Chains A and B, each alone.
Chain A
Amino acid sequence: MNFFKFAWSISPELLQGSLTSLELTVLAISIGLILGIPLSLGRVYGNKIIYTVTTIYIEAFRGTPILTQLFILYFGLPSIGIMFPPFTAAVIGLGLNSAAYQAEYFRGAIQAVKDGQMVAARSIGMSKIKAIRYIILPQMFRLVIPSWSNELILLLKASSIAYMIQVSELVSVGRLIASRNFRTFEVFLVIAFIYFVIVEVLNRILHSVEGKIKIPGL
């Protein structure tokens, strides 16, 4: 079988794997978003205790490999009685990790919002919380889009690490196919191509979204 026929024949299986990878990515980035915003707010507006706690979290997850984090969740926790199925462990691990990176992106964006905005909001009687909610955060979301898009792509690529804890995502499926017919190199060429295409498509989509919600001056 020549290369293209071969590639075609394994596509359905690979597609399944890709879907799992995408699922993993979407779930993880959502967790990252939900956790990341409070983390960043804690680092910018919190008192000493909150600042210290959030900083420790962020440094811990950014300073260690994703593989190690996943191993701790999947292979490590069972030794103290907590057992996660592979997919769950991957989602939690990647999600917590992404939260740390997203928190830093959000923090950068918050700090890019001009100082005068908070003062003006307080001057018309908004409480700190209201000011953050109606004035700071709306601007932060627009400023953070380039970095956030980057994080989404990075997370998609990181989802491949879940292979190591037995999640049936794209790379795992690839290895499975290869173990049947030993054409590993070709399988992975196809896989590389698939990732390349998905990343390109995502980039285009994110770019056009950025254009649509642009505000003159932000």
Chain B
Amino acid sequence: MGTLISIELALAFLGLGFVVGIPLAVGEVYGNKFVKNLAVLPIVEFFRSIPALVLLFLFYFGAGSLNLNFSPFIAALLAMGFRSAAYQSQIFRGAIKSIDVGQMQAARSIGMSKFKAIRYIVLPQALRISIPSWSNEYSSVLKDTSLVYALGVTELMRQGRYIVARTFGNAILVYVICALIYFVIVHFGVKLLDFLEEKYKIPGYEIKKVTTRA
């Protein structure tokens, strides 16, 4: 049960991260100096320099200060979603930058606006290139869902805690099982992403895998 919540959370975080991350990346690569340095970079730096846990508390308790009543779930969604956006924006930025500048030039030369060129020419290629790094992000986010335990959300770890408390059970067994569940979900998720990478591969366009964590 807790597992489903965890997966839900992960997908939600990744989803928000994706939706916000792409504009951030585009802003960073194509935006003018103001957009880049006053808007995008500070946001990205902020979300990347502080621990996820602190971020969660900030959003949850911060909401209270502004008299908004966020449920733990919403607070977590916003905090982790934006955090993922910051990391994803860097992934996409790298991918966009690695695309030959000639692509953009060719697109403009047939009359596409910058926006159309990004949408129809650059992004399709960038997204494919991003898949390996993105699967790293998937692993990270899935594992980080465990942190929302601290806000009281009943995801996998908290569920585990309840089981141990209820049954005076073998704590080590329960937690090891939790670990196994995470491992399996991460593993299969990555396999799925690898499969997608193969399926949507552009013939002849080989990209080297980079194994660095965001």
Q: Tell me if chains A and B make direct contact, with any CB pair below 8 A.
A: yes
Chain A interface residues toward B at CB < 8 A: 59-60, 62-69, 71-72, 75-80, 101, 104, 108, 147, 150, 154, 156-161, 163-164, 171, 174-175, 178, 184-186, 188-189, 191-192, 195-196, 199-200
Contact call A72/B51, Cβ cutoff below 8 A: no
Cβ contacts under 8 Å, A184 to chain B: 57, 61, 64
B73 at the binding interface (Cβ < 8 Å): no
Distance in angstroms between the alpha carbons of A104 and B209 in the assembled complex: 14
Point out the residues of chain B lying under 8 angstroms from A65, CB to CB.
Answer: 143-147, 157, 179, 182
Q: Measured between alpha carbons, how far is A157 from B213 in the docked complex, in Å?
A: 14
* C-alpha gap A158/B146 in the complex (Å): 13
* Bound: A59/B144 CA distance, A: 17
Pair B211/A67 contact, Cβ less than 8 Å? no
Q: Whose C-beta in chain B lies nearest to the C-beta of A171?
A: B53
B-side binding surface: helix, strand, loop or mixed? helix
B contacts, CB < 8 Å to A: 45-46, 49-55, 57-58, 61-62, 64-65, 139, 143-147, 149-150, 157, 160, 164, 170-176, 178-179, 182-183, 186-187, 211-213
Contacts of B61 in A (CB 8 A): 178, 184-185, 188
CA distance A76 to B158 in the complex (A): 14
Residues of B within 8 A of A63 (CB): 139, 182-183, 186-187
Give every chain B residue within 8 A of A195 (Cβ-Cβ): 49-51, 54
Please give 14 more A-B residue pairs, beta carbons under 8 A apart, in addition to A65-B147, A68-B146, A196-B50.
Answer: A64-B183, A65-B146, A67-B147, A68-B182, A71-B178, A75-B175, A78-B171, A79-B170, A158-B51, A160-B51, A171-B57, A188-B54, A191-B54, A195-B51
Option from A77, A163, A196 in Cβ contact (under 8 Å) with B46: A196
Whether A163 contacts B179 in the complex (CB less than 8 A), given A67-B157, A79-B171, A185-B62, comes out as no
Chain B neighbourhood of A158, CB < 8 A:
51
Q: Given contacts A64-B143, A188-B54, is CB(A72)–CB(B179) below 8 Å?
A: yes
Q: Are B171 and A163 interface neighbours, CB within 8 A?
A: no
CA distance A200 to B45 in the complex (A): 10
Instruction: Specify the chain B residue showing the minimal Cβ separation from A162.
Output: B53
CB-CB under 8 A for A71 and B175, given A60-B183, A188-B57: yes
In the complex, how many angstroms separate the beta carbon of A105 from the nearest chain B beta carbon?
Answer: 8
Which residues of B lie under 8 Å from residue A79 when comparing CB positions?
170-173
Q: Is the CB of A192 within 8 A of B53?
A: no
Distance between Cα atoms of A69 and B182 in the complex (Å): 11
Given contacts A184-B61, A195-B50, contact A67 B146 (CB under 8 A): yes
Q: Kindly name the residue among A64, A80, A161 whose own CB sees the greatest number of chain B CB atoms within 10 A.
A: A64
CB distance from A75 to the nearest CB of B (A): 5
With a cutoff of 8 Å between Cβ atoms, the chain B residues found around residue A69 in the complex are 179
- Give the chain A neighbours of B172 by CB distance below 8 A: 72, 76-77, 79-80
Q: Are A164 and B150 in contact (CB under 8 A)?
A: yes
Residue of A nearest to B57 (CB): A188
Complex Cα spacing A79 to B178, Å: 16
- Please report the C-alpha to C-alpha distance between residue A78 and residue B147 in the assembled complex, in whole angstroms: 22
**Complex contacts, B143 vs chain A, CB 8 Å:** 64-66
The residue in chain A whose Cβ has the minimal distance to the Cβ of B184 is A63
CB contacts (< 8 Å) of A160 on chain B: these are: 51-54
Q: Which of B57, B64, B182 contacts A64 (CB 8 A)?
A: B182
Closest 4 CB pairs of A and B: A76-B172, A65-B143, A65-B146, A160-B51
A108 to B210, CA, bound (A): 10
Q: With A67-B149, A171-B57 as known contacts, state yes or no: A192 contacts B213, CB within 8 Å.
A: no
CB of B179 within 8 A of CB of A64, answer yes
B49 contacts across to A, CB distance below 8 A: 195-196, 199-200
Q: A77-B172, A185-B58 are in contact. Are A164 and B149 (CB under 8 A)?
A: yes
A157, B175: Cβ atoms closer than 8 Å = no
Residues of B within 8 A of A192 (CB): 50, 54-55, 58
| Chain B contacts for A76, CB-based, 8 A | 171-176
